[in-house]
Chain A
């Protein structure tokens, strides 16, 4: 469901980019993910949760997955998508781009 790529040369993390433009309501994400993940921090502009690995959720839908395992990153991105897709926490930004969803991996 995601496109996974290394965010930069020196990092030990992967970035999952939504297939189409999204906006995440991070407070709602916190409510939804709270029962299934550990909420590490909600900075308003960024929500950090811990499941199989630590994940930063950005308001534009991007995920930063803190692991050097691409397999784990793909699995974790899929789990987050399953929990959030179709909920009020995810909004499509159709005026700025195509419909909601995540880019296939």
Chain B
């Protein structure tokens, strides 16, 4: 099995990637670059995390970077503010789905787990799922943070994930925790989704973990 693994630079996603790699899954890593709403340190962390995952799994991981900043601008300027994290995640999934098709992968792998942040309620995860047709694998769905940190420490990703890096600055003050699919789809109609996906993929480039 081959999965497109979304690697953010945080604690959860490399743990999710490791757990599935341990089960024999081949990984393709994708980092969504949120600059200028984060900083370059998150990109550096993602590259270091992929490098560490290669070491700990013993397998090379093809890795890509996709510019996500322009997508944030489009949603922030045109759509309901409290749904921003839903738009963001649905866009990431769409892009990951396209990469999965091009890479011959079977689905998307994320570090999402239930209830940790506002966008990761069961209702919101269902809304995000509806953006794509490929399976979304979430090996951490029932983990709590202590368990995730325990694995992260054991595989040597925790120290990298907790290096300095700017949190996303475009997160809404009051994000929706129970979005309705109809509302999200209606709001997304205000931006050219397909064109944004194409532009994101056109700007995609290879992330070289060995360069860090």
Which residue numbers of A lie inside 8 Å of B, CB to CB? 7-8, 10-13, 40-46, 48, 54, 56, 58, 64, 66, 68
The smallest beta-carbon distance between B159 and chain A, in angstroms, is 12
Which residue numbers of B lie inside 8 Å of A, CB to CB? 36-37, 39, 41, 69, 72-73, 76-77, 81, 162-167, 169-170, 172
Neighbouring B residues of A41 by C-beta, 8 Å? 36-37, 69, 73
**Given the complex of chains A and B, what is the CA–CA distance between A44 and B80 in angstroms?**
12
25 A–B contacts, CB within 8 A, in A order: A8-B167, A10-B165, A11-B165, A11-B166, A11-B167, A12-B166, A41-B36, A41-B37, A41-B73, A42-B73, A43-B37, A43-B72, A43-B73, A43-B76, A43-B77, A45-B76, A45-B81, A45-B170, A46-B37, A46-B76, A46-B169, A56-B37, A56-B169, A66-B39, A68-B164
Q: Are B36 and A64 in contact (CB under 8 A)?
A: no
The smallest beta-carbon distance between A74 and chain B, in angstroms, is 18
**Given the complex of chains A and B, what is the CA–CA distance between A11 and B77 in angstroms?**
26
Neighbouring A residues of B165 by C-beta, 8 Å? 10-12
Report the nearest A residue to B173, measured CB to CB: A60
Q: Are A13 and B39 in contact (CB under 8 A)?
A: yes
Report the nearest A residue to B74, measured CB to CB: A43
Q: Using A44-B77, A66-B166 as known contacts, say yes or no to A12 and B69 having CB atoms under 8 A apart.
A: no
Q: Using A45-B76, A45-B81 as known contacts, say yes or no to A40 and B167 having CB atoms under 8 A apart.
A: no
**Given the complex of chains A and B, what is the CA–CA distance between A58 and B171 in angstroms?**
11
Query: Most chain-A Cβ atoms within 10 A of its Cβ — which of B73, B165, B166?
Result: B166
Neighbouring B residues of A46 by C-beta, 8 Å? 37, 76, 169-170
Partner of B167, one of A7, A42, A45: A7
Q: Are B169 and A12 in contact (CB under 8 A)?
A: no
The smallest beta-carbon distance between A78 and chain B, in angstroms, is 21
**Given the complex of chains A and B, what is the CA–CA distance between A5 and B76 in angstroms?**
26
